[in-house]
Structure 1
Amino acid sequence: MNGTYCVTFLQVRRSICRTEDLNYSILVHCLYFLRTCKTKFCSFLRHNEPPLDKGLMPWMGHALEFGKDSAKFLARMKEKHGDIFTVRVAGIYITVLLDPHSFDTVLDDAVSFEVGQSRVQLLARTFGLQLNGIQENDERRWMQQHFHAKSLTQLCTKMKSHMNNLLLNDFNYSKGWRQDGLFNLCYSLLFRTGYLTLFENEGNASAVYKEFRKFDNRLTKLARKSLKRDEKKLFTSAREKLWELLSPAFLDLESNSWQQEYITFLQNEGVDGEMQKRALLLQLWTTQCNAGPATFWLLGFLLTHPEAMGAVQSELRGLTPQDVQSHPTPVFDSVLSETLRLTAAVMINRDVVQNKSVHTSDGREYLLRKGDKIIIFPFLSPQTNPDIYPEPQMFKYDRFLNADMTEKTTFLKDQRKLKHYTMPWGAGGKMCVGKEFAIFTIKQFVFLVLTHLDVELCETGARLPPVDPSRYGFGMLHPRGDLRVRYKLKAT
């Protein structure tokens, strides 16, 4: 405990106790307030700390605004304080770093900044999961073995087969137009494709998807402790049903399947049967929660931007599914990058475990305190920073193309080239083990839709729905609403 804080606390305590007519309950509340605010009680004594914005509410600070729409709130704080600032959120002091030139100071320092207990607490609250015996690096190494090289090729082959069966075979007995919401169409097809690829149980894929959507729709609010009581009951019910559906009694545990090998890994690490089911739910969510929404936004942008649709269709004309992975598709790749820039909103969280100085691109040095947290929010900067991307809220399909149709990778901030000019995969892409598998899935699905189906907007001139602000910080954004489309098999 800080010595200056102790002196101040005792002086206040003695002063209060000399006032005989002061109500005892007020004394208790004053002492409690001083205790809970001790980490910043003497912040004025420290130099070079980021600007501090506590908010108007004691202890709560900016918790309500942060939880309701974190992007809007942090944009307001950036406008007020600049690229680095500290805010109080429910008693926690969070430093927000929005200068892309300084990101590596945090990302490359695993000694001063750790994932820490925040992730452990979040997994316990949302997934009911405790994996105390597993080291994160051990699990990461296992995942890398199964999402890279030969294993990745095998998964992609299975994925492509299931995708073709689900999307195309369903039209064998119906050649006419169908209608659906584009988000529902993309999410349902890609979820079932991914589930069959990794869990290989066709019999309960639809049931798992139904419960998964109930679970996923409420997960972010539960994580932020803003879920209402009735909604929490629905979340808990869906989670329990998913645990049951992912138990060995329901899964087809083939010896060479991905989920069987993952269960074997958990068993070897001493994880009991109950936690194995919960760990499988975490992996199901991690691998399936982003591909569907990403394809929705990509196809939605193309359908609502005819020039972009024409450019992509022209590039893909004559290509096979194999060509999409091996043949250069710069226009398609630019559309994907632009889609992710606008709709991927991950937050990178770290615990500050020792005092650390951070230098920003303007030459200033800021002290970060041990015990606080730090957040990097690439969606706000660099991805939608107007100093980096002119008209950042607009979809421009050729934004990541050079004049010679090669990939554009040079973007500037303060006249300096950015290393991190877009970060849809988190910490520079290094932390996303399944990145290559996800890109393969998105590109194959969109290629299949554009080359085998006629897809049209049900309403001419329809626009994409707004985003759901509760999803900021949890990967791909979801729409608040849907985009109605009609589709059928192409004549040839």
Structure 2
Amino acid sequence: MGYLIQILLALFISVIGGLYLLGAFRRRRPGEPPLDKGPFPWLGHVLEFRRDTAKFLQRMKLKHGDIFTVQLGGFYFTFITDPFSFGSVVKEARSKLDFTKFAEQLVARVFGYHHVEDEHKVLQASSTKHLMGDGLVVMTQAMMKNLQNLMLHSVGSGDDKGWIESELFSYSYNIVFRAGYLALFGNESPKDAGNLEKATEIDRQHSDELFLEFRKYDQIFPNLAYGVLGPSEKMEAERLKRLFWNMLSVQKMRSRDNISGWVQDQQQHRSEKGMQEFMQDRFMFLLLWASQGNTGPAAFWLLLYLMKHPDAMKAVKNEVEKILRETGQEVKPDGPLIDLTRDMLLKTPILDSAVEETLRLTAAPVLTRAVLQEMTINMASGQQYSIREGDRVAIFPYTAVHIDPAVHPDPHTFRYDRFLTPEGSKKTDFYKDGKKLKYYTMPWGAGSTMCPGRFFATNELKQFVFLMLSYFEFELKNPHEEIPSIDTRRWGFGSMQPTKDVQFRYRLRF
């Protein structure tokens, strides 16, 4: 899930410990936030931050209050933990707080990709054009077609009538990643394959091979980002990058059908700027990682929470069946496959609430800005703090609002209707200490860096769950198994992943 720059911002704060172990040391000046260098000044708080970002920031808040500065490697980060004061960061002009320059530098270091002029503006404009509004209609249909191919290609064939056992995280990530990849990067041409049936079979096989390699990369990515890969892992990382540069090369993309306008715009802009093809190939991999690395894990959590909460499952399933009836569609063995449109997905307040609740519990981006000139942070309390040029300002919404019991009572419990009013519409009024909050969840970021791909990502999630509920019976193999904990190594990367997978089984309903 996610939009390139926003995910890279989350990535930036997660990699600083590995990329910068030398840095300036300074004393706190009057008017600055409390400065905590930690017990080991040379490393600062890098090791503790890496082990568990959420736990570390909660400890710092208890020690210093709503604003504090910590040394992480070679930079000083000022964290703001008061949600009423978030506007001082997310609304600040880019001339003071920048969110692209250091992300571009990081991409060059981690991915070997060097940006072109006006890259952020082109990416923003293309995302708005193709992943929102009318463009989202086209992308929703593309996602639907590819989900049908991956999930329902055997419907009516007499196959897959018995229970199939699988691992829920692997299954969810696999299906959503592959369908999203095909929707964005295109399909095998029936002309090249011989016919449409053969082309869709190649799509299934090719996307599965791509996912298996992507998961290898995904599993070593935290260490790659931190810069702590061992020799064998370094070799594997290089092998995987070269493999993806080849599989997603501009040359190979020319033979594919149905490439999204979003991807085509990126390639065309770089080509017009004179970028060499090998660098364009690297950017294609970067787009894949940024666009498809989060939605699959989010789909896992959503299905798991529904299976662990029968009341939520019943409510969402009833809503799905209601929408099908209203659109005159029916799931039956010999009937046409159901088709979910963008307009249908706008009429799912219960599913929307379940998605938002899932993201509240499992999405943990870090919103970061580079301080371009000395400035003042105005807190909601009326206090003012001086921030130095060259430092960083950051917000971690997960601990600041997502799991704050003053904002969301019983915050670690999944409540599918938490974001519904008593009348059944979307709830947007949340309070802390009797005062209404503007930023009550921030899984997509906020302000100028708010993810414009959030509507496409949400539709991906909803389409997958809609089809699962419509066509399949599914259940946990062990209904009493506890929900796995979050892998703390991945704080800041977006959607969190579980420390272990969960066994489940599924079968076609007819």
Q: TM-score, normalised by structure 1?
A: 0.87
Give yes or no for the alignment of 1:405 onto 2:392.
no
In structure 1, the partner of 2:14 is: none
Deviations along 1:39-94, one digit per CA (max 9) or x if unpaired, are: x24x2xx2221111101112211001111211111111112112211001112111
Counterpart code for 1:418: L
Task: Give the alignment partner of residue 44 of structure 2, picking from 61, 78, 82.
Answer: 61
Structure-2 change in CA distance of 1:428 and 1:314 (3 Å):
farther
Hey, what does 1:76 align to over in structure 2?
Answer: 59
Counterparts of 1:76-475 in structure 2 under 5 Å?
A: 76-109=59-92, 110-170=94-154, 172=157, 173-201=159-187, 202=203, 204-254=206-256, 257-258=259-260, 259-320=263-324, 321-322=340-341, 325=344, 328-428=347-447, 431-475=450-494
Q: Give 1:25's aligned residue.
A: none
Q: Residue type matched to 1:193 in 2?
A: A
CA distance in structure 1 between the partners assigned to 2:48 and 2:116 by the alignment: 33
C-alpha deviation, 1:134, in angstroms: 4.1
TM-score w.r.t. the length of structure 2 is 0.84
Determine the structure 2 residue equivalent to 1:5. Answer: none
**Aligned residue for 2:24?**
37
Deviates more, 1:274-283 or 1:142-151: 142-151
2:153 aligned counterpart, secondary structure: helix
Q: Would you say the 8 A contact 1:253–1:260 is kept in 2?
A: no
The one-letter amino acid of 1:114's match is D
Instruction: Provide the secondary structure at the position in 2 that maps to 1:75.
Output: helix
**Equivalent position SS for 1:460:** coil
Q: Describe the SS at the equivalent of 2:250.
A: coil
Give the Cα separation in 2 of the matches to 1:368 and 1:430.
21
1:386 deviation in Å? 1.8
Greater CA deviation, 430-439 or 282-291?
430-439
SS of aligned partner of 1:358: strand
Amino acid of the structure 2 residue aligned with 1:367: S
Distance 2:61 2:438 in 1: 21
Match of 1:21 in 2: none
Opposite residue 123 of structure 2, the aligned amino acid is E
Deviation string 1:428-462 (CA, Å, 9 cap, x unpaired) is 58531211111111111101101110001111312
Aligned partners of 2:449, 2:390: CA distance in 1, in Å?
26
Identical amino acids, percent of aligned pairs: 39
Q: Is the 8 A contact 1:159 1:194 kept in 2?
A: yes
Confirm or deny: 8 A CA contact 2:367 2:395 kept in the other structure. Answer: yes
Name the structure 2 match of 1:12.
none
Looking at structure 1, the residues matched to 225 and 361 of structure 2 have their Cα atoms a distance apart, in angstroms, of 23
Cα offset, 1:230, TM superposition: 2.6
- Once the two structures are TM-superposed, the CA of residue 226 in structure 1 deviates from its matched residue by 3.1
Paired residue secondary structure (2:408): coil
Q: Deviations over 1:393-432 (max 9, x none)?
A: 1111221122222221111123221111101111258531
2:252 alignment partner, SS class: coil
* Partner secondary structure for residue 86 of structure 2: helix
CA distance in 1, matches of 2:178, 2:499: 22
**Is residue 463–residue 483 contact of structure 1 (8 Å, CA) maintained in 2?**
no
Q: Which residue of 1 aligns with 2:501?
A: 482
Task: Measure, in 1, the Cα distance between the counterparts of 2:148 and 2:256.
Answer: 22
What is the SS of the residue equivalent to 1:319? helix
Q: Which amino acid aligns with 2:222?
A: T
Query: Deviations 1:355-394 (Å, cap 9, x if unpaired)?
Result: 1111222221111111111111111111111221122111
Question: 2:129 is aligned with what amino acid?
Answer: Q
How far 1:323 moved relative to its partner?
8.6
Mapped partners of 1:93, 1:473: distance in 2 = 17
Offset at residue 160 of structure 1 (A): 0.4
Residues 198, 253 of structure 1: alpha-carbon distance in 2 compared, 3 angstrom cutoff: farther
Alignment partners' CA distance in 2, 1:414 and 1:340: 23
Shift of 1:194: 1.0
Number of residue-to-residue matches in the alignment: 453
Show CA shifts across 1:175-220 (max 9, x none): 1100111111111111111111111242632222121111122223
CA distance, structure 1, for counterparts of residue 163 and residue 381 of structure 2 = 57
Q: How far did residue 252 of structure 1 move?
A: 4.5
Q: Does structure 2 conserve the Cα–Cα contact (< 8 Å) formed by 1:455 and 1:486?
A: yes
- Give the C-alpha shift of residue 157 in structure 1: 0.7
Distance in 2 (alpha carbons) for counterparts of 1:332 and 1:141: 29
The CA deviation at 1:221 is 2.6
Distance 1:460 1:116 in 2: 45
What amino acid is aligned across from residue 270 of structure 1 in structure 2? G
Q: Separation in 1 of the partners of 2:274 and 2:258?
A: 21
Farther-moved stretch of structure 1 (159-168 vs 210-219): 210-219
Segment drifting more, 423-432 vs 334-343 = 423-432
Q: Can you list the C-alpha shifts for 1:114-141, whole angstroms capped at 9, x where unaligned? A: 0154212321232211114343213321
Decide whether aligned partners of structure 1 residues 170 and 221 sit closer, same or farther in structure 2, where only a CA change above 3 A counts. Answer: farther
Give me the whole-angstrom Cα distance separating, in 1, the residues matched to 2:440 and 2:322. Answer: 33
Q: Which one has more relative contact order, counting CA pairs under 8 Å at least 6 apart?
A: 2
Which shows bigger deviation, 83-92 or 242-251?
A: 242-251
Q: Return the alpha-carbon distance in structure 2 between the equivalents of residues 282 and 411 of structure 1.
A: 36
Question: Residue 323 and residue 67 in structure 1: after superposition, are their counterparts in 2 closer, same or farther (change >3 A)?
Answer: closer
For structure 1, the 5+ residue unaligned runs are 1-34
Contact 1:324 1:443 in 2 (8 A): no
In 1, the alpha carbon distance for the partners of 2:63 and 2:81 equals 13
Q: Is the contact between residue 59 and residue 89 of structure 1 (CA under 8 Å) also seen in structure 2?
A: no
Q: CA deviation at 1:164?
A: 1.1
Q: Which moved more, 1:131-140 or 1:210-219?
A: 131-140
Distance 2:343 2:454 in 1: 17
User: Which of the two has higher C-alpha Rg?
Assistant: 1
* Whole-Å separation in 2 of the counterparts to 1:55 and 1:480: 28
